[in-house]
Amino acid sequence: MATPLEPTRLLLLAEQAVWAATLHECLAPFGDAYVLISAPSWAVVSSLFEHDRQAVLLTTPKLQPADLACQMAQVLLLEAEPAEPPQSASDWLVRSTLNPDTLRRCLRHVRERTSLESTLQRLAEEDPLTGIANRQGFQTLLAGRLASTEGRGLALGHLDLDNFRHANDSLGHQAGDRLILQVVARLKAQLEPGDYLARLGSDEFALLLDTRGDAQRAERMAERIVEAMAEPYWVDGESLLLGCSLGVAHGRAKAGADPLMWHAHIAMQQAKGIQGCTYHVFNERINRNARNLADLESELRRALRRDELELHYQPRLDLTSGQVVGLEALVRWRHAERGLLPPSEFVPLAEQSGLIVPLGYWVISRALYDMQNLREAGVAPLHMAVNLSFRQFQDSQLLSALSRLIDERGIDARWLEFELTETAVMRRNELVRYTMDALGKLGVRFSLDDFGTGFSSFVHLNSLPIALLKVDKSFVEGMEARPENRQLVHAMVNLAHNLNLEVVAEGVETSAQMELLRSFGCDQVQGYLISKPLPMVALQAYLQQRQSAASG
Ligand code: C2E
Ligand code: MG
Ligand code: MG
């Protein structure tokens, strides 16, 4: 809006010279407040308007082009005689009744209307909580930047918070809002002039980065952003960690907004496969992979519906009593063409796509069902260990669904055990702890799987309701050949006992390994030496044969 010191420019484009004379006369009482510029052509009007977006155009219905209203906001139509109110202009002036008063009123009206329109536009394109652009605002901004740069020299980031929904549910919405404000403040602190931030949804953000002719800048920025996001947040005196996934796509000449947004989204999905705060940069190869993954994902979805998954059970032996004391449920996919697939072929994909949540429920439900069957077949109660992915903890229904399943099957929860990996547990996520505590109260036990392959903080380990530690098979494997592996496994057993945890060694294949483990004081062993994972029918036969051998 023009200040009183800056005159309002009136651009006049009319066939008859009489308009210029009339307007000059009417404007005379206002001194320097207005400047009237007679333009000879549309080209001149456009270029004047380019320099001063506050200018008001005065023109006649005949000269007014059809799309005038969208080109310029402030238009006054000049009519010789009273006529129909114009549709596309802000207002109109009739020469026969024109005087300084009506002209001034009209000009004020035009300017007020324009300012109201721009306020409405701003509200429609702004996120009310954070004041940054919303999805619509971002689309406008992106279209503008793509038009002026042809897609060169910019990169688009799509950032998604991994567990915000849970934080929001458990902290309450007001605290959730404060958390979002902290996230935005952190993101803004990483930006430099020319970069833009927008909120696309409740926990999704877009970043428009100016690469300044240096393609590496986007990657450096992404690195800095995920680092900043990984720091703990403080909300209501409590600290919490949020995971985030950032996908980055580079703009390409003449590529539109849609492919760019889509590519950043795909890269974000790829980043989601890795936990913690991570970023991924889009490239064509990933895109092809993503397509294959999409096929496999829909196949897996179908497999779940058609009941093509199976559980095999691997026994766990207690070294003191020589008894089988537990089972580990291991999932397999009986694929129509590819045969029996091990979890490595589809569990990572399921984790990436979120399918692990329904798949995980299927596994738990089937394991509980088989526990019931074993009990009915007269097998002595055994601990049933089920592997749980970190992603399953991000599902807000986990606790209630598990309680319901345990109830429905009439299983004593004390026989149920969940195996978690170090990375899942060490995230120090409040939700993980809360869920573990609540399940622990039901009687469920937890074990730390693949111990030694991830990173564990022992102080933290001791504060979680974990009952067992499973030494990863890679350490057991090397024990016979390498003395340092022997020492390592021995140290792990001692460490677990100091923390009051039981120890299970995985991947035991030879009796020499088993004897070493026994001499270290290891509590239980699991591995091909005892038994391979077995389908239900074979397992029942195996257990019954052991039982009768023991009693006979
Ligand atoms: P894990 O939980 O560490 O399971 C042990 C893996 O070691 C199993 O592989 C098992 O077959 C294998 N194994 C057992 N004894 C021996 C042995 O003596 N020697 C050797 N070389 N290997 C042995 P599997 O069944 O292929 O499972 C691989 C991983 O897949 C599991 O590792 C677990 O992390 C994951 N997984 C399996 N089932 C599920 C599931 O239902 N849900 C989730 N989230 N993950 C699962
Ligand atoms: Mg396991
Ligand atoms: Mg393991």
pLDDT of 70 reads 41
Can you tell me the mean pLDDT for 233-245?
A: 86
Rg over alpha carbons for the chain, rounded to the nearest Å, is: 35
pLDDT of 88 reads 60
Banded pLDDT at 188 (limits 50, 70, 90): very high
Banded pLDDT at 1 (limits 50, 70, 90): very low
Of the candidates 379, 369, 363, which has an alpha carbon nearest to the alpha carbon of residue 326? 379
Nearest residue (CA) to ligand 1, atom 7? 507
Residue 482 neighbours by CB under 8 Å, 6+ apart: none
Banded pLDDT at 431 (limits 50, 70, 90): confident
Mean of the per-residue pLDDT values of the chain: 86
State the closest ligand 1 atom to the C-alpha of 450, by its place in the atom list counted from 1: 3
Answer yes or no: is the C-beta of 473 below 6 A from any ligand 1 atom.
yes
| CA dist., res. 327 & res. 314, Å (int) | 5
Pocket test for ligand 1, best of 317, 330, 418, 526 (most atoms within 8 A of CB): 330
Question: Is residue 69 predicted with pLDDT exceeding 50?
Answer: no
Q: Which helix (DSSP H) or strand (DSSP E) does residue 13 occupy? A: strand 8-13
Question: Is residue 2 predicted with pLDDT exceeding 60?
Answer: no
Q: Does residue 341 contact residue 332 with C-beta atoms inside 8 Å?
A: yes
Place of tokens 């006054």: 76
pLDDT of 539 reads 97
> What is the 387 CA–ligand 1 centroid distance (Å)?
9
CA neighbours closer than 13 Å in the CB half-sphere of residue 249 = 27
Ligand lying nearest the CA atom of residue 417 = 2
Higher pLDDT, 96 or 372: 372
pLDDT of 287 reads 67
> What is the 262 CA–ligand 3 centroid distance (Å)?
37
Q: Does residue 71 contact residue 24 with C-beta atoms inside 8 Å?
A: no
Question: Is residue 312 predicted with pLDDT exceeding 90?
Answer: yes
Superfamily (CATH) of domain 135-290: Reverse transcriptase/Diguanylate cyclase domain (3.30.70.270)
> What is the 418 CA–ligand 2 centroid distance (Å)?
9
Can you tell me the mean pLDDT for 96-117?
A: 81
Answer yes or no: is the C-beta of 527 below 6 A from any ligand 1 atom.
yes
Residue 279 neighbours by CB under 8 Å, 6+ apart: 157, 222, 223, 225, 226, 245, 246, 247, 248, 267, 271
Distances in Å between the alpha carbon of 417 and those of 284, 299, 373?
42, 30, 18
How buried is 495 (Cβ within 10 angstroms: 0-12 exposed, 13-18 middle, 19+ buried)? middle
> What is the 470 CA–ligand 3 centroid distance (Å)?
7
Banded pLDDT at 72 (limits 50, 70, 90): low
Nearest residue (CA) to ligand 1, atom 29? 343
DSSP helix/strand/coil, 506 = coil
Answer yes or no: is the C-beta of 424 below 6 A from any ligand 1 atom.
no
Ligand lying nearest the CA atom of residue 471 = 3
Answer yes or no: is the C-beta of 256 below 6 A from any ligand 1 atom.
no
Question: pLDDT digit string (tens) for 471-509?
Answer: 999 889 889 888 888 988 998 899 889 889 999 999 999
Answer yes or no: is the C-beta of 347 below 6 A from any ligand 1 atom.
yes
pLDDT of 295 reads 78
| CA dist., res. 156 & res. 159, Å (int) | 10
Higher pLDDT, 256 or 68: 256
> What is the 29 CA–ligand 1 centroid distance (Å)?
90
pTM of the model: 0.57
Pocket test for ligand 1, best of 340, 453, 477, 506 (most atoms within 8 A of CB): 506
Nearest residue (CA) to ligand 1, atom 33? 387
Higher pLDDT, 93 or 475: 475
Question: Is residue 457 predicted with pLDDT exceeding 70?
Answer: no
| CA dist., res. 89 & res. 70, Å (int) | 10
Question: pLDDT digit string (tens) for 250-300?
Answer: 987 777 788 888 889 888 988 887 778 899 998 876 666 666 667 778 889
Question: pLDDT digit string (tens) for 383-420?
Answer: 999 999 888 877 778 889 999 999 998 899 999 999 99
| Domain 8-124 class, CATH top level | alpha beta
| CA dist., res. 456 & res. 463, Å (int) | 12
Nearest residue (CA) to ligand 1, atom 42? 387
Question: Is residue 460 predicted with pLDDT exceeding 60?
Answer: yes
Answer yes or no: is the C-beta of 421 below 6 A from any ligand 1 atom.
no
> What is the 269 CA–ligand 2 centroid distance (Å)?
26
Answer yes or no: is the C-beta of 342 below 6 A from any ligand 1 atom.
yes
pLDDT of 331 reads 98
Answer yes or no: is the C-beta of 331 below 6 A from any ligand 1 atom.
yes
pLDDT of 169 reads 79
Nearest residue (CA) to ligand 1, atom 35? 343
CATH topology for the 294-551 domain: TIM Barrel (3.20.20)
Place of tokens 């329109």: 117
> What is the 115 CA–ligand 3 centroid distance (Å)?
65
Nearest residue (CA) to ligand 1, atom 3? 450
> What is the 358 CA–ligand 3 centroid distance (Å)?
22
- Where along the chain do its domains lie? 8-124, 135-290, 294-551
- Return the bridge partners of 249, or none: 156
Place of tokens 């590529």: 255
- Return the bridge partners of 451, or none: 471
Residue 452 neighbours by CB under 8 Å, 6+ apart: 471, 472, 474, 475, 488, 492
